[in-house]
Amino acid sequence: MAVQKTNIRNSVLILMIIVAVITRSLNINHITEWVTFTPIGAVALFAGTYFKDRVKAFLVPILVVFISDLALNYAWFHKFVWVDSSSIVVYISLAFMVVIGMNVKKVNVVNVVGASLLGVLIHWLLTDMPFLYSVSTNGLAYAHNLTGYGQALIAAIPFEKSLLFGNLLFGAILYGGFELAKSKFAVLQTQRELAV
């Protein structure tokens, strides 16, 4: 019975993550700073918080995002782009967000907003290292030193702002939706939650 309950809970979590990541395809204006207004950060935080199996917590969101990256790259550029240096750093930042989500012990607005802010900060610091890119999105090359890093960080602020908005909106939907579902369906609660 406990295994069946775990399977139902995990299936619901995976389905919520897949549906959230599918919404990435709705952002057809992929050349603006709103390209980062996506659920991927919220999905990583959510997975870290709710999956009890740590392997699933990392594997599910990163795999779902990787598959969606393949599909979106094919749709936009008409070719498969498997992995490049920038996407690897994005997946590493997602792994850090999963770890942040694992540290959300009590789901409430303050903790989820704090986790979202920390996740965006880590994403910002990791993904905007200038040595990852030869040319920036505005056509200017960033020097591969601290000055170039600072310039890249400043140029990335609009993108990180939209990532934060995505984390907050999709985080509210994912966390709020699952907490509501748990209150209605005991099968989604952990043994510890049922004991309280």
3-state secondary structure 144-167: CCHHHHHHHHHHCHHHHHHHHHHH
The span from the CA of 62 to the CA of 108, in Å, is: 24
**Those residues with Cβ within 8 angstroms of residue 29's Cβ, 6 or more apart along the chain or in another chain:** 35
The more confidently predicted of residues 12 and 143 is 12
By mean pLDDT, which of 33-42, 103-112, 113-122 is the weakest?
Answer: 33-42
By mean pLDDT, which of 9-18, 56-65, 113-122, 129-138 is the weakest?
Answer: 129-138
Given a cut of 70, whether residue 194 has pLDDT beyond it is no
Given a cut of 50, whether residue 158 has pLDDT beyond it is yes
Q: Tell me the mean pLDDT in the region 152-175.
A: 92
Nearest partner of 95 among 66, 128, 71, 131, judged by Cα: 66
Report the pLDDT value the prediction gives residue 1, as an integer from 0 to 100. Answer: 45
Q: Tell me the mean pLDDT in the region 146-170.
A: 89
Which range marks the domain in which residue 96 is found?
A: 2-195
The span from the CA of 101 to the CA of 106, in Å, is: 10
Highest-pLDDT range among 20-24, 48-52, 151-155: 48-52
Q: What's the CA angle centered on 60, arms 9 and 35, to 5 degrees?
A: 120
Here the tokens at position 76 are 């936009």
User: How many domains is the chain partitioned into structurally?
Assistant: 1
The span from the CA of 98 to the CA of 100, in Å, is: 5
Report the pLDDT value the prediction gives residue 195, as an integer from 0 to 100. Answer: 57
Q: Tell me the mean pLDDT in the region 62-68.
A: 92
| pTM (global) more than 0.85 | yes
